[in-house]
Structure 1
Amino acid sequence: MPGSHVLEAAAMIPVQSLDDNLHVASIVVHAQPAMLDSVSAWLQQQSGTEVYGRDDQGKLVVVIESYNSQAVLNVIDNVQLQPGVLNAALVYHELVPPEEDTP
């Protein structure tokens, strides 16, 4: 599609955290049911990422924790490129200040 490379480049623009906050994000991933196990396994291998729920229809609830906002965006962008993934959407994002972050 003409011009799609511009959209792809814009989607990968680096964004840096300007503070030491912990980013906690939740995404919903919709995948083809036959690919659910492989998508879930890929997500579990990503740093700071945990699959909290799933259904046999192809939906995964995923939580991402990182001190770098770009890492959160990278997981969202990259999961959408995985075979069998139909969509990934951010549904929650919170910044936890360092004084509230307990290891």
Structure 2
Amino acid sequence: MNICGCLIHISQDKLYAARAQMEVTDGVEVHAATDQGRLVVVVEDTPDKRASDIIMDLHQIPGVISLSLNYHHFEDLAVPSARELVAQPEI
């Protein structure tokens, strides 16, 4: 599981088109936006693409001025967590 929280600044004249393009992109969810072109976006891995590649694609949307990664969480779901290991019965 790979989750990235991003702040994106979009020029006001392209805001609606850029946001619409982001909202139909797999792995992207717009959580908040201002009328001045600032968006709070979460990007996650999809079965076909890594979050880092999706972020690079977002940079290419017309009107995107800047994109900054403000939060990142990675967890390998195939590896048991410490909590799961402690909860396992002894053999």
Shift, 1:86, TM fit:
0.5
Larger-Rg structure: 2
CA root-mean-square deviation: 1.9
Q: Residue 93 of structure 1 aligns to a residue in which SS?
A: strand
Aligned partner of 1:43 in structure 2 is 22
- Which of 39, 42, 63 pairs up with 1:63? 42
Q: Residue 50 of structure 2 aligns to a residue in which SS?
A: helix
Structure 1 length normalisation: TM-score? Answer: 0.67
In the aligned structure 1, how far is the partner of 2:55 from the partner of 2:2?
Answer: 13
- Count of matched residue positions in the alignment of Structure 1 and Structure 2: 78
- Which of 5, 29, 52 pairs up with 2:31? 52
Aligned partner of 1:16 in structure 2 is none
Taking only the aligned residue pairs, the percentage that are identical comes to 27
Unaligned 5+ runs, structure 2:
82-91
Unaligned 5+ runs, structure 1:
1-21
The within-5 A match list for 1:8-87 is 22-66=1-45, 71-87=50-66
Shift, 1:96, TM fit:
3.0
Shift, 1:60, TM fit:
0.6
